[in-house]
Structure 1
Amino acid sequence: MQSNVEDGSDITTDAEIIGRILSGRINDFEIILNRYRGYIFKIVSGRLPADVVADLSHEIFIEVYKSLPNYDERKMFRKWLAGIAIHCCYDYWRQHYQNHEISISALTEDHKRWIDEVLAAKSEDVFNNIENQKEAREILQWALADLSAEDRMALTLVHLDGLSVKEAAQVLGWSSINVKVRVHRSRKKMRKRIAAMLSGDI
Structure 2
Amino acid sequence: MKMLEGFSQSFEELVKGHGKAIFNYIFSLVKHKELAEDLYQEVLLSAYLAYPSIKEKSKYKSWLFTIAINKCRDYWRKENKSKHFWREEVYSYSVTFEPAFIPEEEVLHKFSAEQMAEKINLLPEIYRNPIYLYYYQDLTLVEIARKSNLPMSTVKTRMKRAKDRLRPKMLSLA
TM-score (ref. length: structure 1): 0.41
Larger Rg: 2
Larger helix percent: 2
TM-score (ref. length: structure 2): 0.46
